[in-house]
Amino acid sequence: MAKRIAIIEDEAAIRDNYSAAFRREGYAVDAFDARGPALNAFDNRLPDLVVIDINLKDDVEGGFELCRELRARSADLPIIFLTARDSEFDAVSGLRLGADDYLTKDISLPHLMARIAALFRRLEAMQKPQGVDSRLQRGNLTIDSERMTVHWQEQVVALTLTEFWLVHAMARYPGHVKNRQQLMDAAQAVLDDNTITSHIKRIRRKFIAIDDQFDAIETVYGMGYRWLSN
């Protein structure tokens, strides 16, 4: 049975375009233009993945509310924010509410599709027993590329999809400098300097929360970042 994606977006043209794109990829699509109708529909059945715009007509923070309620109903329902708001503050707020990804509307459809596919893969991988093949061990770091989980010193590091891909791209070849373009390609996104910087900072912070001696990500100024294995 086709995976069901719900898209809540007040802008009809975007909603229709994304719906068409999702259907073309073989997904079933439920499209809503406001929080109320969406929640009513979700009472009957939760979709497999939700794409939410934050600003829903007059409901300025409607997307955040919706995310909060959905996360309350299901802990592992993949939720993606797709919004015109590009401020760091909004992104942090969204992710804190338990969203799996925070994307701005200038993301290309192929990138969006890749992310959605990745989230579904992760969901599937979670339901299967853990496979050893997909594991990558770098010192204290353990990466499960199927489940898209990262452990540091045996403790799980809760990373978003983008963050996971960034860590994965760096840690796969420790000591190699990954420049901006390589990181963007790995993260299936078009990111500017500041966004990459912010992502790296958030990643570091998450690792430091586990291990305050963490210094495995090195900034090579003007060039990029590299993972230090020791």
Q: Which residues sit at the interface with another protein, rule CB under 8 A?
A: 11, 13-14, 17-18, 20-21, 24, 84-89, 104-106, 108-110, 192-195, 197-198, 219-223
Q: Which is nearer to another protein, 145 or 195 (CB)?
A: 195
In the complex, least distance from residue 60 CB atom to another protein, rounded to whole angstroms: 13
What is the token pair recorded at 136?
């990558």
Nearest to 173 by CA among 118, 116, 97, 225: 225
Size of the chain in residues: 230
Sign of CA dihedral 106, 103, 72, 124: positive
Coil, strand or helix at 17: helix
Q: Which is nearer to another protein, 22 or 165 (CB)?
A: 22
Q: Which is nearer to another protein, 2 or 223 (CB)?
A: 223
Contacts of 22 (CB under 8 A, 6+ apart): 5, 7, 29, 116
Contacts of 177 (CB under 8 A, 6+ apart): 220, 223, 224, 225, 226
In the complex, least distance from residue 26 CB atom to another protein, rounded to whole angstroms: 13
Coil, strand or helix at 179: strand
- Report the 10 Å Cβ neighbour count for 59: 16
In the complex, least distance from residue 78 CB atom to another protein, rounded to whole angstroms: 20
Q: Which is nearer to another protein, 36 or 110 (CB)?
A: 110
In the complex, least distance from residue 22 CB atom to another protein, rounded to whole angstroms: 11
Coil, strand or helix at 5: strand
Q: Which is nearer to another protein, 137 or 194 (CB)?
A: 194
In the complex, least distance from residue 21 CB atom to another protein, rounded to whole angstroms: 6
Angle value at C-alpha 107, between 177 and 203, nearest 5 degrees: 40
